[in-house]
Amino acid sequence: MHSLSGVYAAAVTPISDNFAPDLDGLPALLEFLAGRGCHGALLLGTTGEGPSFSIAERKQVLEAGSRIRETVPTFRLFAGVGTPALGDTIELARFAFDLDYDAIIVLPPYYYRTAGDDGLYKWYSELTKRAVPAGRGLLGYHIPGVSGVGLSIDLLKRLSEAHPGRFLGLKDSSADRAHALALGDAFGSDLLVLNGTDRLFSDALAAGASGCITAMANLVSPDLRAVWDAHLAGRTDPAAQSRLDRARAISERFPPAAALVKDLLAEFHGFPRWAVKPPLEPLEPGRAERARLAWRTRGQIA
C-alpha cells in the first residue's frame, strides 16, 4: 500500500467577510479533521475554492495550513495548485514543496477544453520535471464535470511510466462508478487513486483505490475512516457506507459544497460562519434551514 493511502478531507478554506482567507482559522479546522480520523487534507481544491484565490493568497493559505504540523506532525498535506498557466502552477508547486507538503494535486489547464492527450502529456510532464522533487509526488485531478477537461486512462499510463515515483496517480472526482471500476481494471493498486465521491468509496476500494479525498469528509470523516479501517481488515462496513450515501445525497441537494459544508460546520461543530468567495454564494436562509434539517434527520432519509 502506498504511504499516502488513506482518508483525506477536501478542506474548506476559512474566509472572512471581506473575502480574504482567514489564516488563523485554518489550523484549527485541520486539527479538528485530524481528531476525527483524517490522515490528512487537501488544501485549495474545489471545495477549498482554490481557483478563486490569487497566487499570493494561495501561498498564504498553504503557509497557514503547514502550521498543523506543529501540533500534529504526522498529518499529511496535499496542495491544490492547478491553474491554466504552466508557469503559475510550477511556482505554486515549488512553494508547496518548500513547505514540505507531501504531494500536489493538479487540475488540467482548464481554459483550452479541446486540448488533446499529447498536449496534456507535455503540460504535466513539464510540471513534473520542473517542480516535483525526489520523494514527493503529483496527482492529476479528474473532475471533468467542473474543469471540462478529463484525464484519460491512456494519459495516466503515459505519465506514470514516464515519471515513476513522481507522477503518483489521480484524484478521481468523476462521480462515475464505471470509471472507478475502469481505473481498477487498468491499474489495480499500482496507481495511487483517491476517490472523490463518498457514495462510491466502498466500490472504489474494492477496485483497488488507495483511499479518498472528499468534501463531505469535513463532516463525516468518522464514517469514511470506518469504511477504510474495515477495508484494511478485509471486511466491509455497509452501515457506515449507507450513512455516507445519505450525506452525499444532501450535498447534491444543497450545492455548492463549499457553502453547505461551511454552514454545517458552523451549525453543528461551532466553527465561525465563514464566507464563500465570489462567484460562489452562501446558502440563502430558507435553503440553509432545510439543509440543516436534512442533516439532523439524515438517519431517516432513504
pLDDT tens readout for residues 120-166: 999 999 999 999 999 999 999 999 999 999 999 999 999 999 999 99
Q: Rounded distance, CA 75 to CA 68, Å?
A: 7
Q: Where are the beta strands (DSSP E) in the chain?
A: 6-10, 40-43, 76-80, 103-106, 137-142, 167-172, 192-195, 211-214
Which amino acid makes up residue 138? L
pLDDT tens readout for residues 215-271: 999 999 999 999 999 999 999 999 999 999 999 999 999 999 999 999 999 999 999
Under CATH, to which class is 6-233 assigned? Answer: alpha beta
Contact of 2 with 210, CB cutoff 8 Å: yes
Give the pairing type, strands 6-10 and 211-214: parallel
The kind and range of the H/E element at 200 are: none
pLDDT tens readout for residues 78-113: 999 999 999 999 999 999 999 999 999 999 999 999
* Domain boundaries of the chain, sorted by first residue: 6-233
Q: What is the pTM for the complete model shown?
A: 0.95
| pLDDT at site 299 | 65
Q: Rounded distance, CA 259 to CA 12, Å?
A: 9
Q: Rounded distance, CA 149 to CA 113, Å?
A: 6
Q: Show the CA angle centred on residue 21, arms to residues 18 and 23, nearest 5°.
A: 130
The three-class DSSP label of residue 275 is coil
Catalytic residue ranges: 46, 111, 141, 171
